[in-house]
Amino acid sequence: MGLGRFGGGLAAAESLLAEGRQVLVTDLAEEVALQAAVTKLRETFGTQVRFRLGGHKQEDFSQAGLVIANPAVPQPWDNPYLQTAWASGATVTTEIARTLDQLIDRKTIAITGSAGKSTTTAMTHAALVAAGIPATPGGNLGESLIGTPKDHTLVVELSSAMAWWLYEAPKAPQPTFDVALRTNLAPNHLDWHGDMAHYAQCKQAILDHAKEALDGSTLSPYEGELLVPGHHNRINAAAALAAVTALAPHRPATDFEKGLATFAGLPHRLERVVVPHFPNNGFWNDSKATTAEAVALAIAAVREKGPVRLIFGGRSKGTDISSLAQLTSDCIKSYAIGEMGKELEHQA
């Protein structure tokens, strides 16, 4: 349920088809929006896979024995199709929940938070690899963990929606992690959760099911060498170092710090963009900043390098955006665009 416009459900479908199952892929989007993933499945598996695109049908869910839902499906506890599947006795889960259940014997670091979790996940992976510990990142970041080599430590980024499926959903698998890290906590995805309490509860569940739980908001900034700018990235690095040393406490920190020192950042996260026509200006792409708190951290990081012109917009996801108007006072000019452009421009 939910192949996803960017093929997020592709790995789940491929895994089930490789097991020899008959698979029906159903998505609210029309085929033209899902063309790449649909074509790949058809070319590889032929008539073993069927498609219901442009809408769902109740009978598909009442007749299914296993339903793999995209974790982004909003408020799944109230979704009529998923309710039908649960009532019919089907196993209803997500790709990440099913995969973690299959890889239960692997060493695993789980990382969540309202901001910085992707960068911290990537830093954690880089630190492990630099220390000679084979590792694979996945979950909300990177490729599917299906097929990960047996000797690899899993570094799993978990969204709050993924956490709901892991711990709150009917018959949730409730996996235990060797280390769980929450980078920070601030209002986000309230359109999905309904309120802050439910959002925080899902995040907390990850920490509650870990052999060692870490709170990144309590850490002092990392003081070693980093390529990525900003105070917040020093907090991210400190969190990554705390996670890997918790997993392998007998290894010297210097083994891991080599990976932190060479980590060059992720796309769309304070990514330096080269614009040849403006060699004396710095262009920074931080389009993955989806909360006011994340935008504030980005502004603080680049303001050290000179005056800031801010281009911002997007969707509120049910959160209070009034603080964005205050952030623009730190910039010499701001430009509000996107779905919230008019609202943001008015508040700014």
The two tokens of residue 93 are 């889960």
What top-level class would CATH report for the domain 97-262?
alpha beta
Nearest-angstrom CA–CA distance, 175 and 264: 32
Domains 10-93 and 97-262 share a fold: no
Query: Per residue of the chain (348 residues), what is the pLDDT tens digit?
Result: 998 766 668 888 999 999 999 999 999 999 999 999 999 999 999 999 999 999 999 999 999 999 999 998 999 999 999 999 999 999 999 999 999 999 989 999 999 999 999 999 999 999 999 999 999 999 998 778 988 999 999 999 999 999 999 999 999 999 999 999 999 999 889 999 999 999 999 999 999 999 999 999 999 999 999 999 999 999 999 999 999 999 999 999 999 999 999 999 988 888 888 888 888 888 889 888 877 778 888 888 888 788 889 988 877 766 677 777 777 778 888 888 877 777 665 655
CATH 3.40.50 fits 10-93, yes or no: yes
Nearest-angstrom CA–CA distance, 45 and 37: 12
pTM: 0.85
Nearest to 39 by CA among 72, 3, 70: 3
Exposure of 322 by Cβ count < 10 A (0-12 exposed, 13-18 middle, 19+ buried)?
exposed
Domain coordinates in residue numbering, the chain: 10-93, 97-262, 271-347
